[in-house]
Amino acid sequence: MEFVEGYKSILNPKDTEKAIKLTKDTFEKELSSSLRLTRLTSPIFVEAGSGINDDLNGVEKPVSFSVSALGGRKMEIVQSLAKWKRMALADYGYPKGRGIYTDMNALRPDDTVDAIHSVYVDQWDWEKVIGEDERTLDVLKNTVKEIYAAIKRTSFLLSETYSALDDYLPEDITFIHSEELEREYPSLSPQEREKMAAKEYGAVFIIGIGYPLSGGVPHSLRAPDYDDWSTVTISGYHGLNGDIIVYDRVRDDSLELSSMGIRVNRESLLRQLEMKGLNERKELYWHKRLLSGEYPQTIGGGIGQSRLCMLLLHKCHIGEVQASVWSDETRAEAKERGIYLI
């Protein structure tokens, strides 16, 4: 069932629209100041075959089209901007300690469509230059803390503006590695483990997404050419990346707000391409530039705009905070329950 039994929206549609803008404006400023990020204009599409588009878990197919004015050259609607951002940092010459964020709009037609997934994806894509000596778990964790603090400050402002919206997220975020989570809940699926962790801690950052766990499969899949998920850290675990997961009280379930991590360097890119059997990508434009040393070392990720609005406005369905497409059955059920889908 996509809708929570007995759910009633706290805000009416008009106040919801106002609150969406307040949420986005506030968080964008908080994120920018916390991480020292400058807003950059980003593309809606990139050229196919360049290696710039993000293939996410490695199985999604991007929406593509040809451009008549360019002799029929094929373009792809972005799925995220993980690779484009790093290229932009190099081309704009951003120094260490500074970065960019962008208001990304993407299409992911292969995604599951349900209460928290949509064909339309809007997120703050961000990327920051770091030094090679900063490719550590401490840097990753400190960055996560800054992002979570920005979420908390946004949540506080919303609760001050709309008294019915209480700020129920915990003050601090908890860190746990996916290996530890598997050991704690060996009989559960990764999604079930996430729900258990979210309910226990309220907000958790699960480290190590992409490398096979002791049980033989990864916690979740990751493409081989943006996050570094194969480096062994001083803890003895693989991975310099992870996901921010929170407890969604309205849905009584976990909700992923962000996927992020320290990005691949030359060594980890080659290792991960080999592991995935994708060595041919070394000949793509983007990958050639990284392997030749043209890109800075970075940390970055994406933060779901509609997901954050859904959480902080206490909504049960992502369609209440974004305009997308839904089945006739979903819209009919929403209408019957008095839930307004944009």
- 28, 54, 225, 228: the catalytic one is 54
80: domain range? Answer: 13-336
- The torsion angles phi and psi of 45, rounded to 5 degrees, stand at -140, 160
- 86, 108, 135, 193: the catalytic one is 108
| Assigned domain for 109 exists | yes
| Assigned domain for 328 exists | yes
- 9, 123, 258, 305: the catalytic one is 123
Q: How far apart are CA 326 and CA 341, in angstroms?
A: 9
| Assigned domain for 2 exists | no
263 is catalytic: no
pLDDT at 59: 56
11-68 confidence digits (pLDDT tens): 999 999 999 999 999 999 999 999 999 999 999 998 988 888 776 555 567 889 999 9
| Assigned domain for 3 exists | no
243 is catalytic: yes
Low-confidence ranges of the chain (pLDDT < 50): none
Return the CATH number at 202: 3.30.930.10
Q: Which two tokens stand for residue 233?
A: 């850290």
| Assigned domain for 291 exists | yes
Q: How far apart are CA 3 and CA 7, in angstroms?
A: 8
pLDDT at 55: 64
225 is catalytic: no
260-292 confidence digits (pLDDT tens): 999 999 999 999 999 999 999 999 999 999 999
Q: Which residues contact 216 (CB under 8 A, 6 or more apart)?
A: none
pTM of the model: 0.94
54 is catalytic: yes
- 122, 125, 243, 320: the catalytic one is 243
Q: How far apart are CA 9 and CA 177, in angstroms?
A: 35
- 259, 268, 272, 322: the catalytic one is 259
- 30, 256, 263, 305: the catalytic one is 256
pLDDT at 278: 94
Q: How far apart are CA 266 and CA 224, in angstroms?
A: 12
- The total of structural domains in the chain comes to 1
| Assigned domain for 33 exists | yes
| Assigned domain for 1 exists | no
Report the candidate in 97, 135, 138 with the shortest Cα–Cα distance to residue 269.
135
| Assigned domain for 342 exists | no
pLDDT at 253: 97
